Amino acid sequence: MRIRWRLRMAAAQREVWTGTELRRLLSERAGLELSAASVSALFTKEPSQIKVSTLIALCTALDCTPDDLFEIDTTPVEQPAARPRPVASQPKTATARGRSMPPM
């Protein structure tokens, strides 16, 4: 499964073109104060995680749903064929201070 972050597209459809505009909307409409750097990161990068409260604020500010912010590809991922496991060799006798240990 692959998730594609579409915040920039959702914002553009609502004529929000910059992080500064998005930051203002988040503050005014959703009461969420984020740093300019945080909003810029949301706007330009695909986050690996997002707080539910931030997701709700984005939906409130942009008057959208989470479906507008994410594109989910549910195509099954092809798994590589499993490699055969190597056969374990017999354990070597451990040595301590140059002396061999008794067999186990």
Q: What is the pLDDT of residues 16-70, one digit of tens each?
A: 999 999 999 999 999 999 999 999 998 888 888 899 999 999 999 999 999 999 8
For residue 25, give the amino acid letter: L
User: For residue 6, what is the domain's CATH number?
Assistant: 1.10.260
Structural domain contains residue 18: yes
Q: Which residues pair with 2 in a beta bridge?
A: 73
Structural domain contains residue 33: yes
Write out the residue range of the structural domain in which residue 30 sits: 2-73
Structural domain contains residue 98: no
Structural domain contains residue 86: no
Name every residue whose Cβ is closer than 8 Å to that of residue 19 and which is 6 or more positions away in sequence. Answer: 36, 39, 40, 42, 43, 44
Structural domain contains residue 10: yes
Predicted TM-score of the model (pTM): 0.67
State the DSSP H helix or E strand holding residue 41, giving kind and residue range, or none if neither.
helix 36-44
Number of domains in the chain: 1
Contact criterion met (CB below 8 Å) for 87 and 21? no
Query: What's the rounded Cα separation, in Å, for the pair 53 and 79?
Result: 34
Whether the pLDDT of residue 95 is over 70: the answer is no
